[in-house]
Amino acid sequence: LPEIAFAGRSNVGKSSLLNLLTGRKKLARVSGSPGKTRTINFYLINDSFRIVDLPGYGYAKVSKSVTENWGDMMETYFDNRKGLRKVVQLVDVRHKPTAQDMQMYEYLRHYGLDGIVVATKADKVSKSELSKNISMIRKTLGLSAEDKVIPISALKKTGYDQLLLEIEKILEE
Ligand code: GDP
């Protein structure tokens, strides 16, 4: 089955977005304890594709072995999932993407899985800040004109219809 994965640092709002996308509450655990062994979770949607919840990265407190473990897990996943079509990169709309966000995006580029970025927590900024911050995100991640940055608020439930359209497009390719 085709798969669409979601990546982002811990606390970016991934669980909230995935709960919204899958229409099921608490499907993904919201704010689990950082540093614990994390796993990749798969959710079957309409018997036609899978949404993949990649473990959040970037907790300052996690040990080096956990970080290395995370990298190994990602590599194994990216190397072996034949159905993987795209990895949606999540960044917090309020902040400049972190070094780890940039590293993650480079990784996606390397695997040809890049191209869709979701800017989370869009309700937390004004309209003018939103467009300014999206430009900043584009610049920091080095996006090209055809790459998408989709602002989403899981709180206000806005923006995810556009993401669903992009997912449909990917699944039709
Ligand atoms: P995860 O660690 O990436 O899975 O992030 P969570 O979904 O657990 O969200 C982290 C925190 O951000 C929680 O306190 C959420 O309530 C909050 N949050 C997530 N999405 C939004 C959003 O769109 N708007 C606002 N205002 N808060 C959000």
**Total tally of structural domains belonging to the chain:** 1
Q: Do residues 71 and 100 lie in contact, with contact meaning Cβ atoms separated by under 8 Å? A: no
Q: In what order do the strands lie in the sheet with 116-120?
A: 41-45, 49-53, 3-8, 84-92, 116-120, 148-151
pLDDT of 32 reads 45
pLDDT of 44 reads 87
List the CATH number of the domain containing 153.
Answer: 3.40.50.300
The reported pTM is 0.91
Which sign does the torsion angle of CA 61, 114, 72, 7 carry? positive
Mutational pocket test of ligand 1: of 10, 11, 92, the residue with most ligand atoms within 8 Å of the beta carbon: 11
Atom of ligand 1 nearest to the CA of 154: 23
Residue 82 CA to ligand 1 center (angstroms) comes to 30
CA separation for the pair 141, 120 (Å, rounded): 15
Q: What are the mean pLDDT values of the chain's consecutive 10-residue runs (173 residues total)?
A: 94 92 59 56 88 83 68 87 95 96 93 97 97 98 97 96 95 92
Residue 59's domain comprises 3-172
Closest CA to 104 of 92, 119, 120, 88: 88
